[in-house]
Amino acid sequence: MPDGLSALAPLVADFRSDTVTRPSAAMRAAMAAAAVGDDVYREDPTVAALEERIAADTGKEAALFFPSGTQSNLTALMAHCGRGEEILVGRAYHTFVYEAAGASVLGGAALFALPVAADGALEPSDIAAAVKADDPHFPITTLVSLENTVTGRAVPLDRMAAASAAARAHGLAVHLDGARLFNAAAALEVAPAAVAAAADSVSVCFSKGLGAPVGSALCGPTPLIDKARRLRKMLGGGMRQAGVMAAAALHALDHHVDVLREDHARARRLADALSALPGVEVRADPNPTNMIYLRFTAGDGAAMVAELRRRGVAVGRPSPWSRLVLHLDIDDAAAAHALNAFEAVAGDASAAAGSA
């Protein structure tokens, strides 16, 4: 939620999310130049090119362009699962917590939450134990919904493969919420297709670290994507001259994938510098990518976040950890400005604590 930011000082560094990036001049030029047609008639050449490109990048047969990751995930869950069927999902995963239970509300499928391990993975034993017996008392377990990255942690490939093997041993299909699949691939130093290999279908966001203003894609086997096309239309996601948006996503795939490594390196440098400040604790996460989680150990966290905002730095609300997300619109100068603001705010708090 934007919290009345316009009334405050100009933002120098907006760490609330990697969704806040604005399209660059080059991206806008690519959008303006895009060849377009009516994509519901399947006549938009730029959307077709994007779908072919992202299917290849994720190692899947086909792909479908969506306005949002939520709609892409929802469509995937509905394509895999019918009414009275059940989806096993991590308790902290986006598809369970932040998508308004759409698969249940609109798809009639049950969501069953499993614990998430420290590395972001699901335990194979938890998956096996949650699969319901064939008994009229129970829903029919049909799908496991994975995620990578998970709150900024890149889940290792062997852990994804183990979860996927447990699912397949019970005849379940596997979906991957890969909103930040390219961040995971960069951190694990593998191709995005290697991260997606554990899953039958994968949803990827162009509107996060890749820096496009809008758009996601669902990738998977052709029969599933054909089914997804009908569901997308039913859900109101059939778009017309969507090539202007697909052009932004194609531009991002051509120019912004390698930049993710720089975001990750900048995040680590900033995390190290912040952890050296008095009264600031930085959470140690395995396989971190573009996110930093920190909390203030001296002073009122909410007041300090408000003071940071007065100094042009926006971070997530403390609950109790505040999230900082690095992205294309935060360069070294913006990160340095943020570090100065944190120094001032944390220094004031520890001085006050010392004199009390």
Nearest-CB residue for ligand PLP: 69
Residue 208: CB minimum distance to ligand PLP, A: 6
Dihedral angle over CA of 289, 78, 247, 193, nearest 10: 50
Q: Binding to ligand PLP by residue 285, rule CB under 6 A?
A: no
For ligand PLP, give the closer residue by CB, 70 or 289.
70
Size of the site for ligand PLP (CB under 6 A): 12
Q: Binding to ligand PLP by residue 183, rule CB under 6 A?
A: no
Q: Which stretch binds ligand PLP (CB under 6 A): 64-72, 118-126, 164-172, 264-272?
A: 64-72
**Contacting ligand PLP (CB under 6 A), which of 57, 85, 86, 147?**
147
CB distance 311 to 344 below 8 Å: yes
CA distance 290 to 274: 15
Q: Are strands 291-296 and 322-325 parallel, antiparallel or unpaired?
A: antiparallel
Rounded to 5 degrees, φ, ψ at 207 are -95, 5
Q: Which two tokens mark 267?
A: 């995040």
For ligand PLP, give the closer residue by CB, 218 or 334.
218
Q: What angle do helix axes 222-234 and 69-80 make, rounded to 10 degrees?
A: 120
**Contacting ligand PLP (CB under 6 A), which of 68, 275, 287, 297?**
68
Q: Binding to ligand PLP by residue 69, rule CB under 6 A?
A: yes
From the list 243, 242, 220, 245, the residue with the least C-alpha distance to 233 is: 242
The runs of H, that is alpha helices, within 7-91 are 25-33, 45-58, 69-80
**Contacting ligand PLP (CB under 6 A), which of 21, 46, 58, 70?**
70
User: CA 59, 94, 215, 27 torsion: positive or negative?
Assistant: negative
What number of residues does the chain have?
356
Q: Binding to ligand PLP by residue 237, rule CB under 6 A?
A: no
**Contacting ligand PLP (CB under 6 A), which of 14, 177, 200, 285?**
177
Cis omega (within 30 of 0) for bond into 21: no
For ligand PLP, give the closer residue by CB, 281 or 329.
329
Residues 91-120 close enough to bind ligand PLP by CB under 6 A: 94
Q: Which chain residues interact with ligand PLP by CB under 6 A?
A: 68-70, 73, 94, 147, 177, 179, 205, 207-208, 216
